[in-house]
Structure 1
Amino acid sequence: MRNKYSAIYHDIADKIVHRIYPVGSYLPSETQLSQLYGTSRETIRKALSELLINGFIQKIRGKGSIVLNLQRFNFPVSGITSYKELNRSLNMHSKTEVLCIEDRHVPVEKFDYQTTEALPATYVARLRKIDQDPIVLDRDYILKSVVPHISHAVAADSLYDYFENKLGLTISYATKTITVEHPSVEEKKWLALNEYEDVVVIRSRTYLEDTTLFQFTESIHRPDKFNFVDFARRQKIS
């Protein structure tokens, strides 16, 4: 069930991105979609629910699901999504270059994390590119107390796929801080920045379902390549 509705979600999202379902148009009905994909209406409803949550559509009572005017290649601020998942869902055709994998201690002061103990971690630095143009520099610190080893092949593919599907970890939530900063010499080099550009930095601490902290991430983004957005839905508090 999970793989089926996920595949349908990505197929419809891809059609929305490529304007096969234009902004302002209505998706086929649940019955039509179930016939189109050869599956149950329950599976279609799950796929539509994901499209709704992620801002692709809005359900109009008595009419169906209308396609929203949301530009893609926007970077979602909320939620926890791996770069591989984002790359696939937004059709960025991005490539990953692994720059470094080595043992380091987490620079906790960068992440505003208060502790007196050293935190041994595997440091993974990766450069994300589109058409050979660098767009994001990711620096991850994975605590060795949770994940003792990370291979080059895993870093080149997806850390989250490895954590969840190979190690069986359940990733639950993260805290994020977003700042605009002057790039370091290294960041200027890897992101091909000119002398006067700033960068957008997202620093996060990620936790497992049992509240175990296991990952510190620093993502440095070229500001000319991304918009940073959140899609919010109204929730009444009684």
Structure 2
Amino acid sequence: MDLVNVNINTAGYSGNKSVIKNVALSISPGDMVGLIGPNGAGKSTIIKAITGLLPVLDGNVEFGGVCKNYAYIPEQPVLYEGLTLWEHLEFAAAVYEIDRGIFINRAEELLRLFRLAHVKHNLPTTFSKGMQQKVMLILGFLLKPSLYVIDEPFIGLDPIGIKDFLFIIQQARSEGSGVLLSTHSLDTAEKICTSFVLINEGTVLTKGSLWEIREQSQLPNGSLFDCFIKLLENSI
């Protein structure tokens, strides 16, 4: 059973102007679906539609029975000025109603993994962009949801941070979680994603596995980048 099925006729922000149209995708347990497109293509709008943050939507976003919850990790960190890193984690645990013992073990493990244990009592608003991104990842992974919706996780992360992220997201997938990953890092996406949704100007250019996208772009040995550029050029 799919974790989520998305069928959007039109969606946007206000008035009659549609930002995205005719968008359909699904995510199953263990999937990592790469949402690929240029700036302004509608990736973030699709994510907002899935997470219920879009005011205007004609269509359906249906979560399957096996999807108990989801975590949304935005591109721009959202942090409280007066809370330390540990207090952010405690607040999230209270909202998610995570058992205290489970929370402490999980939080400490994530802080060690992302190498932030030494600053857990500091204010994240004073951290670097990369460290703030790690805080958002820790908050997302704290819940251990069925579905992760992640917007541009690689921005600001150093190579070690990327390695740590890829390790834990692979672990989550092996436990049955699905992932929707919006990214401009096509080389990385090609290596880690099970399928792709390529979009431009608010609609889907094509979707499928790398093999299927190579077939559709008529580039049997092409990289994801090459296939995307060719499909993009053909759509103009």
Larger Rg: 1
Q: Looking at secondary structure, tell me which structure has more strand per residue.
A: 1
Answer whether TM exceeds 0.5 for this pair: no
TM-score for both structures, normalised by structure 1 = 0.28
Q: Which has the higher contact order (CA 8 A, sep 6+)?
A: 2
